Every structure is written in structure tokens, then in C-alpha cells.
Amino acid sequence: MPNARTLVEKVWAEHVVVPETAAAPAVLYIDLHLIHEVTTPQAFALLRERGLPVRRPDLTLATMDHSTPTTPVTSLRDIDVVSESAANQIRQMVRNCRDFGIDLLGFGSEQRGIVHVIGPELGASQPGKTIVCGDSHTSTHGAFGALAFGIGTTEVGHVLATQCLLQREPRSLAVNVSGHLPAGVTAKDLILAIIREIGVDGGTGHVIEYRGEAVRALDMEARMTICNMSIEAGARAGLIGPDDTTIEYLAGRPRVPQGVAWDAAVSRWRGLRSDEDAEFDRSVAIDASQLQPMVTFGTNPGMVVGIDEPVPDLSDASFRKALEYMQVTPGKPMSENPVDVVFVGSCTNGRLSDLQQAADILRGRTIADGVRMLVVPGSQQVKQRAEELGLHRIFTGAGAEWRESGCSMCLGMNGDTVASGQLSVSTSNRNFEGRQGIGARTVLASPATAAASAVMGRVADPRGLK
């Protein structure tokens, strides 16, 4: 078929307002603009300076998640923010949304949460849409077959003012995952294995399409975990073609089309897949059935080993520097390392099924002496649902802290930090030096591995605790 196209090419073509030429990038229309308090103040300031309105406030959805406290808050007045500048940023967000007519899911809203958790939860993230946000983990929404990518603050201003971006068409990378994930091995383990395979810069300039039977078998929350970390392989975005799983997840959510419009949308979504003969610029194959629980050992998300495998040994200076920072010994497995802190949460693993995974390990157990464990739901709705299921009692009963929603210890900008030198097993997405706090040592893992590590007091294989 000569005109066979990939899913990305189809979504791209549907949103081109002005085609790209050698002299200028394409003008690409954006269907959904998600905004939060950290990467927008300077963009709104520019709009004010130039007297510009927001072109489509109805296609813009705002929340507050990055610098917000995860201790209980009932009103803006009694909010205990980490610093005056963070409090000012939050106040500016409230004012900007009010002045520009943007729907803000702020404090007091039961729909507040991490921007990449609430978009899907509300049904705003839909197949075939272009979705952007001033946050690199916008790739999460690709789980729905949307073209979703992170942008900088200048581009946030472009979208607010014009609902468009200047973009060159991306290249395509197919990640074909065959087989089935073994018991006790999760989507997080799969994406860590994929990043190890591709490398942290292997996806640069590309959009990844995750394909194959192992991907098809994943539920939507697991697919979001996969797409979320596309950026950690350097990719501009990652997506998965919509199918019955996608449509069942979206049905009945508040922001999906209603009535006959729903039927029309579903029939359009069913056509959204890469044609059988579509050619990708590159492709990578992974066999899911060979995987085990995966953990990081270094200071980027491509430095990954299986829980049983020894940490590799390379002479490269950057590699040596990473191991030295992590105080990790080459040739030994990560399971020898004692744990100080465990964090379950983030836009990668802060959804209900992630909390259930952790709770399944913790049920009837307690966390090891000296370990601090923080469980931070991805949204207020996730929190409410978890409490209805009694998960919070399992966490607090095991000795963990149960918090309000937010980005929290993933990047530690709200005061939830890991102390210098401490080792943290975290379900988040980045193990960069200092990411969770100055001098903090981060080991990325699945919620099951994180919970098992909390129980054992060292990096631990959850399969031993089932």
C-alpha cells in the first residue's frame, strides 16, 4: 500500500494549519492545552504585556500540582506552602486563570491532581488529539493515541495566544513488544527495560509508537506508565493506538463527547491506527516474557538492571561518576543496598492500580524500622477511590504516610524531599543527581518493588513477597 501511514502521521496531518517548508516549520493546531503553576507565569506575563487574550480558554485546562503541599489543605488561606515564592506562584496561577477565563481545578476542587493524572481521569485526553503542556511528561497522554508532548514556557505563551505551535514533523520509532509480562513484572519494569535498550538519547527527534501483544494486553493505567517515560528515552512523544481498552476507559467520563457525539467519536477513534504496511524510520524489538522486575542503579533512567542482575562495570568517566554518586558497587546486585526512603506516587505511578500494586505487597505487613515511606495519590479522585477501597488503612497500618495529591517527592519542589546521602526507592521517573533533594540517591522501580523494598529495608524483589 503506497499511501500507508503511521498513527503519528495521521494525527499530525489532521492538525496542520499551514504545512511546513524548508524555510518554516508547520503551524500545528493544539486541541488540548494543560497548564500548571510552575511553567506558566512568564507566559501569562507576556500576554499581559502585549494585551493579548487567551484564544481558546475552552481548550485550556489548569491545575496546581508541582509546588503544592501534600499535607491536608482545605482553603488557600491556610495553605502551608514551602516558600513565599511558591505561595506567590500559586496565587498568580489563581489570578491568571480568573483573568483569562480558564477553568482551574485548584484547592478545594475534588478534581485537582497531577496534570497528567487528571487529563485522562476527566476524559479530556482523547484519541487523535494534539495535547501539550509545559511539562515533559505530557507524553503520558499518548496512551490514548493522542500526539502529546512537553513544551517550554515560550511555547506555552504561543499556545495560549494562538492555540498553535511551530513544529517540524517528527520521525517515527516503533517499539514492538512481543510475548507476555511474567507474573510480578509490571509496565514500569517494561518501560525501564525499553529505556535501557534505546538509551536516554535514543529517541531524540522521534515519536515512539508502542506496539505488539504485550502492549495490547496492558490496561490504560499501565499504558500511561509506559508512554509517560518516553521522554526518558529522549523521545518527543510516545503513543499507543486506541482500541477497546481505550474506549472502555473513556466511556462515561465527564469531558468525553456525549450522546450521538460519543458514537461519532468512537467510530473516528477506531480508524486511528498505523496502517499495516506503514513504514517507521526505526524499530526496536523487546520480548516481554524475558523480563524481571527492573531497577535503576545510576543517575539516569537508562542505567537499569534486573533485580537479580549484577550492576555492570564500565570504565567511562560519566558512568564511574554516576556509580560513585550512587555509592553502588559494580558486580553486585542492587538488592544489597539498604533503603532509607520509599516513594509511591507521581505521574508515572500515582494512579489507583499503582496504589493497589503497592497495597497488595503491604497488606498484613509492616515497613522495616528506619524506613520512611510516603504514598502520594496522583489526584484527589485517586485518593478518594483508594480510601473507599480502604487502601489508605493498609498504608498507614504498615507505617507509611498517606498524603494529599501532587508531584511531591518526584522532584521535591514542594518540600517533600529525600535527605542528602539517603537512598530512595521511588516509583517516579527520574533518578538524576539531586532530583529528589540535594545529594539524594534515587532508585527507580515499580510500585510493587518499592513496597517490597519498604518491607525488607533493602532494594527487594516483590516476587518473593507474594
Partner 1 sequence: MDALISLQSRTVVLPTRDIDTDQIIPARFLTTTSREGLGDALFHDLRYDQDGAVRAEFPLNDPATRDCEILVAGNNFGCGSSREHAPWALVDYGFRAVISTEFADIFRNNALKNGLLPIVVDADTHDWLIAHPGAELGINVEASSLELPDGRIIEYPIDAFARYCLTRGIDQLGYLQQQSAAVATFEETRSWKP
**What part of residues 184-223 is at the interface with partner 1 (CB under 8 A)?**
200-201, 204-205
Q: Tell me which of 23, 276, 331, 388 binds partner 1, using CB under 8 A.
A: 23
Counting contacts by CB under 8 A, is residue 318 touching partner 1? Answer: yes
Q: 50 CB contacts (<8 Å, ≥6 apart)? A: none
Question: Per CB under 8 A, which of residues 425..444 are in contact with partner 1?
Answer: 430, 432-435, 438-439
- Segment contacting partner 1 by CB under 8 A, of 21-29, 69-77, 349-357, 380-388: 21-29
Counting contacts by CB under 8 A, is residue 173 touching partner 1? Answer: no
CB of 209 to partner 1, least distance (A): 17
Q: Judge contact between 420 and 332, C-beta under 8 A.
A: no
CB of 231 to partner 1, least distance (A): 8
CB of 144 to partner 1, least distance (A): 13
CB of 425 to partner 1, least distance (A): 19
Question: Per CB under 8 A, which of residues 67..86 are in contact with partner 1?
Answer: 67, 82-83, 85-86
Counting contacts by CB under 8 A, is residue 169 touching partner 1? Answer: no
Counting contacts by CB under 8 A, is residue 183 touching partner 1? Answer: no
Counting contacts by CB under 8 A, is residue 422 touching partner 1? Answer: no
How many CB atoms are closer than 10 A to CB 385?
16
Counting contacts by CB under 8 A, is residue 53 touching partner 1? Answer: no
Question: Per CB under 8 A, which of residues 29..48 are in contact with partner 1?
Answer: 29, 31-32, 38-39, 41-42, 45-46
- Segment contacting partner 1 by CB under 8 A, of 27-35, 216-224, 270-278, 285-293: 27-35
Closer CB to partner 1, 258 or 420, in the complex = 420
Counting contacts by CB under 8 A, is residue 9 touching partner 1? Answer: no
CB of 432 to partner 1, least distance (A): 4
Closer CB to partner 1, 133 or 456, in the complex = 133
CB of 103 to partner 1, least distance (A): 14
Q: Judge contact between 428 and 345, C-beta under 8 A.
A: yes
Q: Tell me which of 315, 317, 364, 388 binds partner 1, using CB under 8 A.
A: 317
Site string for partner 1, 142-161 (x = CB under 8 A): --------xxxxxx-xx--x
CB of 25 to partner 1, least distance (A): 6
Closer CB to partner 1, 26 or 215, in the complex = 26
Counting contacts by CB under 8 A, is residue 234 touching partner 1? Answer: yes
- Name the grid cell of 376: 502520594
Counting contacts by CB under 8 A, is residue 344 touching partner 1? Answer: no
- Name the grid cell of 113: 491532581
Q: Judge contact between 427 and 445, C-beta under 8 A.
A: yes
Counting contacts by CB under 8 A, is residue 63 touching partner 1? Answer: no
Site size for partner 1, by CB under 8 A? 75
CB of 95 to partner 1, least distance (A): 11
Question: Per CB under 8 A, which of residues 113..132 are in contact with partner 1?
Answer: 126, 129
Burial zone of 200 (CB within 10 Å; 0-12 exposed, 13-18 middle, 19+ buried): middle
